[in-house]
Amino acid sequence: MLTAFVKPISRALAKIPSQLGTAMLGAILLPFCMSAFETLPSSPWLFFIMLVTFFVAKQFASKYAMVVLLTVALVCAGYMGSFNGVDLSLRLASPEWVTPEFDLHAILNLALPLYIVTMLSQNLPGFAMMKSFGYEPPVKATLATTGTANILFAPIGGFAINLAAITAAICMNEEVDKDTSQRYKASIWLGFSILLRDCLPPQ
C-alpha cells in the first residue's frame, strides 16, 4: 500500500507506453503457448483434440471458446482416469485466521521477494495491459486499493491481491464486449467464479 504514495513509482507506472504493454503480454504468454506442445510426444491424440476444439470454438463460438475448451479438457481427463482416487465431494470452506507476527527473517526472505515479483510480474504488466487497451487507470488509487485489500485479507491467506496481468488481458479484449465501458462485467463474473471455486473446494 505504501508504494501508492511513493510519487516516483506512481509517475513511472502512469507513463508506461501502450507498446510496452503489448510486448510484455507477448513475453508473459509465450511460455504458456509453448507449454501446450509438451503433451504432443506423450499424448498426440489429446493435443490434436484440444487443437481442433480450439480452432472450431474460435470460429463458431469465439466468446465461449475457453468454456468449450475447459469442458472438453474435463471430459478427456475423466476418460484418461485423471480423477481416479480423487474425492470430488464438496464442502463449504471456512477461513483460517493466522495472527500476523513481525519476523525480520520472513520479511527479508518471503515478503520482500513476493512484493518485488508481484510488482514486476503482475502490477507493472497489469498497468501496461490497461493502457494498451485504451484505459487510463489511476495508479495511486489502484495500488492503494490492492494494498489495503492485502492488509485486510492477509490473516486469512489473501496476501497476493494484484492486477493479474494475464487475467486482465483476457477480461479487456474485444471478444468480451465491443463497448469498452462494458468490459468490467467480465471481471465481476470472474470474481464470482473464483469465490465459488474457493468456497466449495474438493475434500
How does pLDDT run across 105-146, given as a tens digit for each residue?
888 888 888 888 888 778 888 888 888 888 888 888 999 999
pTM higher than the cut 0.85: no
| C-alpha cell at position 80 | 484418461
Q: Is the CB of residue 43 less than 8 Å from the CB of residue 79?
A: no
Q: Name the H helices within 1-79.
A: 7-14, 18-35, 44-60, 65-79
Of 26, 25, 72, give the one whose Cα is nearest residue 49: 72
Our measurement of the distance from residue 28's CA atom to the centroid of its chain's CA atoms, rounded to an integer in Å, reads: 12
Angle, alpha carbons 167-114-136 (nearest 5°): 45
Domains in the chain: boundaries: 2-31+88-199
